[in-house]
Structure 1
Amino acid sequence: MDPSFLVILAVALGALWLMSNRTRKQQRAASEFRNNLVAGDEVMTASGLLGTVVDVEDDVITLESAPGTHTRWIRAAIAKKIEPTVEDSTDVDDSEIDDDEVHDAVADADRTGRANDDVIDVPDDLSSLPPARKDGEPDTK
Structure 2
Amino acid sequence: MDPVSLLLVGGLALILVMQFSRVRKQQRVVKETQAAVEVGADVLTAAGMVATVVSVDDATLTLRGPDGTLSRWVRGAVIRVLPDTDPASSRYQAPAGTTAGTEPATPTDAVDDDGNPRPQD
**Which TM bucket (shorter chain)?**
0.5 to 0.7
TM (norm. structure 1) is 0.58
Separation in 1, partners of 2:84, 2:64: 16
- How many residue pairs end up in the alignment? 95
Greater RCO, 1 or 2 (C-alpha within 8 Å, sep 6+)? 2
What does residue 11 of structure 1 align with?
11
User: 1:43 aligned to 2:46?
Assistant: no
* Pairwise CA distance, 1:32: 2.3
Q: Matches of residues 52-131 of structure 1 in structure 2 within 5 Å?
A: 52-85=52-85, 89=103, 106=121
* Pairwise CA distance, 1:68: 3.4
Q: Percent identity between the aligned chains?
A: 34
* Pairwise CA distance, 1:47: 0.9
- Aligned partner of residue 38 in structure 2, secondary structure: coil
* Pairwise CA distance, 1:51: 0.1
- Say which structure is richer in helix: 1
Spell out structure 1 runs of 4+ moving beyond 4 A: none
Gaps in structure 1 of 5+ consecutive residues = 95-104, 107-141
Gaps in structure 2 of 5+ consecutive residues = 86-93, 95-99, 110-119
Separation in 2, partners of 1:48, 1:38: 19
- Aligned partner of residue 63 in structure 2, secondary structure: strand
Q: What is the RMSD of the two structures over their aligned residues, measured on CA atoms?
A: 2.5
One-letter identity of the residue aligned with 1:74: V
- Aligned partner of residue 66 in structure 1, secondary structure: coil
Bigger drift between 60-69 and 43-52 goes to 60-69
What does residue 30 of structure 1 align with?
30
Separation in 1, partners of 2:73, 2:12: 40
* Pairwise CA distance, 1:25: 1.2
TM (norm. structure 2) is 0.66
